[in-house]
Amino acid sequence: MVVHKKPLSAFPKDTVFSSPIKRIFDSQTTIYFQHSEALTRLKFFVSKYTSLVESKTYYPKNEAAALDKESSGALMDVIEILNRLSGYIDDIPPFEGPRRYGNLACRIWHDKLNAVITDEITNLLRRNGVENIDNGFVLEMTYYIQNCFGSKTRLDFGTGHELSFVAFIAALDMSDLLPNLTGYTIMEIFNHYYKLVKKLILTYTLEPAGSHGVWGLDDHFHFIYLLGASQWIGNEKIILPKDMLDKSVLNQYKDQNFYCMALSFIFQVKSGPFSEHSPILYDISHNVKHWSKVFKGLMKMYDEEVLNKYPVVQHFWFGTGFFPWIDTKTEKPLPAYEIVEDSQEELETSHNTNIDNDITTGMPNRTAYTKQPITYHTNLHTPTIMTRNETIPSTINNAFSRKPQTAPSRTITSMAPPSSRTFNNYTTSARNLGTTSNMASSRLAQDEKLRNVLPKR
């Protein structure tokens, strides 16, 4: 149990924290994830952080002095951790010689990360008034920052790792360790994170994780576009979506806006016509007129292409405190499957298997869990036994009426090239949003709905 000088008011006193474990093994468990309290909380904080930066411009040189230890809570500690991790890259140069995939020196960097990160988080908690620190609390929080910098084995980085950093910041937020969050503090902390990640990608030539190639929004990121699009809402007199392909505009705003920051990085790592290597982003610039619609479409796309895609969320693990594997409506455990003998070795094999291969060839090792479910202890109730073949509730919240709420088949038979309809599928419901004020009120209503399912403060 964790005792604080400042109580963790977001959690019941009897909350138990534990090291996260794997719960998503296939498309069926991806559907269970759509019902989970974990996903509800993730969506809440994604909405919260993008709302905080709405219509705001990031001026790091002018406003950095506004940050201080007392007002920013653990923010400065996180930034210092990110800066130290960035310094390790300088100490561990890439191996010389051409390589088809990522540079193996990155694994040395990950070894250094794994060696120091638990102590870093423990010290962060102590500096922010946490006493009698429970090991489960540290392990659960540490997991998410430990897994937000790419895969040590696959030498790749993708939207699942980006999601893990969002989860880490959310864990600090739920713990009342970021008491005075503003749009600027969110932009400050994510700016340092993206600077570190881009440095990792460029230094060690990390592969895209589970990339859809030209059929995806971006090889590495998605949340960064949500932040940037939200920043531009209400600023159509300054900049329009169609201006995003003007390199002079990107150079002017790449340090102030996350959307421009992400596009500038694409131009840095890719060559050739933008319409060919990034057709969805090109489509957005040419066919979506207002930033509110860009944001709405990107958010719906995030729900479908990140939070409901097995190759992405299979590597998001679940503890019992921050992101529990329980049903949001019933507060009962979701089905969980027992790990058989040699589970640790097999699970690590599954965890480290190339995601792209996972899409086309199926699960790397289906014997990593049995056909019979097990129950586990939660903070809410006595669990009941559920069968693997139990019918999924028919009330699945499906935001995409054109597609059923299912994870993708792991065998891809065909895929049509992107067209102008690709992104419009996500923006159809945004056509009647109207003014920016309507957009803001809609998002506030969504935030209030999500806030009701979080632990009471």
Q: What pLDDT is stored for residue 385 in this prediction?
A: 32
Length of the chain: 457
Average pLDDT over residues 212-235: 89
Percent of the chain with pLDDT over 70: 68
357: in domain: no
pTM: 0.77
287 or 407: whose pLDDT is higher? 287
Average pLDDT over residues 410-427: 45
Compute the distance between CA of residue 288 and CA of residue 259 in angstroms, rounded to an integer: 15
Could you say which DSSP state residue 219 is in? S
- Provide φ and ψ at 374, rounded to 5°: -125, 170
Q: Is the predicted pLDDT of residue 247 greater than 50, yes or no?
A: yes
pLDDT band, residue 457 (cuts 50/70/90): very low
Q: Is the predicted pLDDT of residue 62 greater than 50, yes or no?
A: yes
Average pLDDT over residues 319-331: 95
Which position has the token pair 């964790």? 2
Contact yes or no for 81/124 (Cβ under 8 A): yes
Beta-sheet pairing, 336-337 with 373-374:
antiparallel
Q: Which two tokens stand for residue 331?
A: 């507060």
Percent of the chain with pLDDT over 90: 56
Q: Is the predicted pLDDT of residue 85 greater than 80, yes or no?
A: yes
Compute the distance between CA of residue 167 and CA of residue 433 in angstroms, rounded to an integer: 29
23: in domain: yes
Q: Which amino acid, one-letter code, is at 188? A: E
Average pLDDT over residues 261-273: 92
Average pLDDT over residues 406-415: 35
Q: Which two tokens stand for residue 18?
A: 């534990």
Q: What pLDDT is stored for residue 448 in this prediction?
A: 61
Q: What pLDDT is stored for residue 288 in this prediction?
A: 93
Q: Is the predicted pLDDT of residue 454 greater than 80, yes or no?
A: no
Compute the distance between CA of residue 219 and CA of residue 209 in angstroms, rounded to an integer: 8
Of 272-276, 311-315, 394-398, least confident by mean pLDDT is 394-398
330: in domain: no
- Provide φ and ψ at 327, rounded to 5°: -75, 130
Q: What pLDDT is stored for residue 359 in this prediction?
A: 33
Judged by DSSP in three states, 335 sits in coil
State the DSSP H helix or E strand holding residue 193, giving kind and residue range, or none if neither: helix 183-204
The H-assigned helical ranges of 278-414 are: 279-287, 291-305, 310-313, 343-351, 355-361
Contact yes or no for 310/320 (Cβ under 8 A): no
408: in domain: yes
CA-closest candidate to residue 175, choices 77, 107, 264, 246:
77
341-370 pLDDT tens trace: 454 455 555 444 443 333 333 333 433 444
Q: Is the predicted pLDDT of residue 338 greater than 90, yes or no?
A: no
457: in domain: no
Q: What pLDDT is stored for residue 427 in this prediction?
A: 58
Of 70-74, 94-98, 120-124, least confident by mean pLDDT is 70-74
Average pLDDT over residues 247-273: 93
Compute the distance between CA of residue 235 and CA of residue 55 in angstroms, rounded to an integer: 7
Contact yes or no for 264/64 (Cβ under 8 A): no
Q: Is the predicted pLDDT of residue 138 greater than 90, yes or no?
A: yes
57: in domain: yes
362: in domain: no
Q: What pLDDT is stored for residue 163 in this prediction?
A: 97
| 3-state DSSP helix/strand/coil % of the chain, to nearest 5 | 50, 5, 45
List 36's β-bridge partners, or say none. Answer: 327
Domain count within the chain:
1
Q: Across the chain, what does the average pLDDT equal?
A: 78
447 or 200: whose pLDDT is higher? 200
State the DSSP H helix or E strand holding residue 167, giving kind and residue range, or none if neither: helix 159-174
Range of 124's domain?
3-320+400-451
Compute the distance between CA of residue 274 and CA of residue 289 in angstroms, rounded to an integer: 19
Contact yes or no for 16/379 (Cβ under 8 A): yes
Average pLDDT over residues 440-448: 57
Compute the distance between CA of residue 289 and CA of residue 299 in angstroms, rounded to an integer: 16
Q: Which amino acid, one-letter code, is at 197? A: V
pLDDT band, residue 131 (cuts 50/70/90): confident
Q: Is the predicted pLDDT of residue 266 greater than 50, yes or no?
A: yes
Q: Is the predicted pLDDT of residue 83 greater than 90, yes or no?
A: yes
Contact yes or no for 429/296 (Cβ under 8 A): yes
Q: What pLDDT is stored for residue 99 in this prediction?
A: 76
The H-assigned helical ranges of 22-97 are: 27-33, 37-52, 60-63, 69-72, 75-91
Q: Is the predicted pLDDT of residue 447 greater than 70, yes or no?
A: no
Most confident among 232-241, 357-366, 397-406 (mean pLDDT): 232-241
245: in domain: yes
139-185 pLDDT tens trace: 999 999 999 999 999 999 999 999 999 999 999 999 999 988 999 99
Q: Is the predicted pLDDT of residue 414 greater than 50, yes or no?
A: no
CA-closest candidate to residue 231, choices 258, 198, 195, 211:
258
